[in-house]
């Protein structure tokens, strides 16, 4: 995973992070998409604070998990005193520092471990991760979610996105063949499905000699059961239907 994303960071970090294809000449426009996304995120934070009277998110430290070149981290700096971005790829971190317009308010960290050991318990009041966990196998995603919960402060808020299922009917953009494939997948153990996907990705790498961006998904109920198991309190789950032509995505909002 590190090798794939580091290669994309060297080739074209704009296109790797956001489609359609972007180039360096559109850097301002690229970062503006982050501003708009975080505006919507913070509106939802306000909704949660209104709905749950015992929830008031401090605005001190925030974490952008899988920060890439800082598209969202810089936008978060408009709402929090201090923002940290963490990523697995040196090339992305190099670019994040290059494009950092927030000075010391925005700090970027390279982390190639399957943990977040550089950060102590209860460090962040707000953690956001979008279009990151879905690119890793679910066994790794679970580990990172546990780590994100560990570094979340009591009363803080963790928001993370993960693909939940393929679109299954014409109103969602699905097709009969996709429905059949989904039904087959849901009757096969997850470990087998992901093993097959890994083999397909490896064959594609060998055939094209290109870095392949992997994608995985986990049913919403399964994610919610996992969150309950690790002691997270789920405040809301938002189904997103517009980001990918073939997938339903969920945004999970949890505290501890």
Distance CA 195, CA 9 (A): 26
Into how many domains does the chain fold?
1
Say what the pLDDT of residue 45 is.
94
Residue 7 clears pLDDT 90, i.e. is over it: no
Kindly state the average pLDDT of the residues 71-97: 96
**When comparing pLDDT for 231 and 178, which is higher?**
231
Instruction: Please tell me what DSSP assigns to residue 171.
Output: G
Residue 117 clears pLDDT 90, i.e. is over it: yes
CATH number at residue 116: 3.40.50.150
Please calculate the CA angle 244-213-83 and round it to the nearest 5 degrees. Answer: 80
Read off the pTM: 0.86
Residue 103 clears pLDDT 60, i.e. is over it: yes
Residue 215 clears pLDDT 60, i.e. is over it: yes
What helix, strand, coil percent values describe the chain, rounded to 5?
A: 50, 25, 30
Say what the pLDDT of residue 12 is.
79
Which residue segment(s) compose the domain that 111 sits in? 2-255
Distance CA 42, CA 72 (A): 12
Say what the pLDDT of residue 245 is.
63
Residue 207 clears pLDDT 60, i.e. is over it: yes
Say what the pLDDT of residue 216 is.
86
């Amino acid at each position: 995973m590190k090798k794939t994303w580091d290669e994309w960071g060297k080739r074209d970090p704009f296109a790797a992070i956001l489609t359609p294809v972007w180039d360096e000449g559109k850097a301002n426009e690229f970062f503006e998409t982050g501003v708009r996304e975080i505006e919507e995120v913070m509106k939802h934070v306000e909704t949660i604070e209104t709905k749950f009277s015992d929830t008031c998110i401090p605005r001190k430290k925030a974490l952008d998990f899988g920060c890439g070149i800082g598209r969202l981290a810089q936008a978060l700096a408009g709402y929090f005193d201090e923002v940290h971005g963490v990523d697995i790829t040196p090339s992305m971190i190099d670019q994040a520092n290059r494009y950092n317009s927030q000075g010391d308010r925005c700090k970027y960290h390279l982390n190639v471990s399957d943990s977040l050991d550089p950060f102590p318990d209860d460090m962040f009041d707000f953690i956001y991760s979008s279009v990151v966990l879905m690119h890793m196998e679910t066994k790794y995603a679970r580990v990172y979610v546990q780590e994100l919960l560990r570094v979340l402060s009591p009363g803080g808020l963790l928001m993370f996105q993960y693909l939940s299922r393929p679109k299954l009917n014409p109103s969602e953009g699905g097709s009969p063949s996709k429905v059949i494939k989904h039904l087959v997948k849901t009757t096969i153990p997850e470990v087998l499905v992901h093993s097959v996907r890994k083999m397909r990705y490896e064959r594609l790498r060998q055939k094209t000699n290109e870095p392949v961006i992997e994608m995985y998904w986990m049913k919403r109920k399964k994610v919610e059961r996992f969150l309950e198991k690790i002691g997270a309190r789920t405040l809301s789950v938002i189904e997103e239907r517009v980001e990918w032509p073939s997938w339903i995505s969920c945004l999970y909002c949890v505290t501890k």
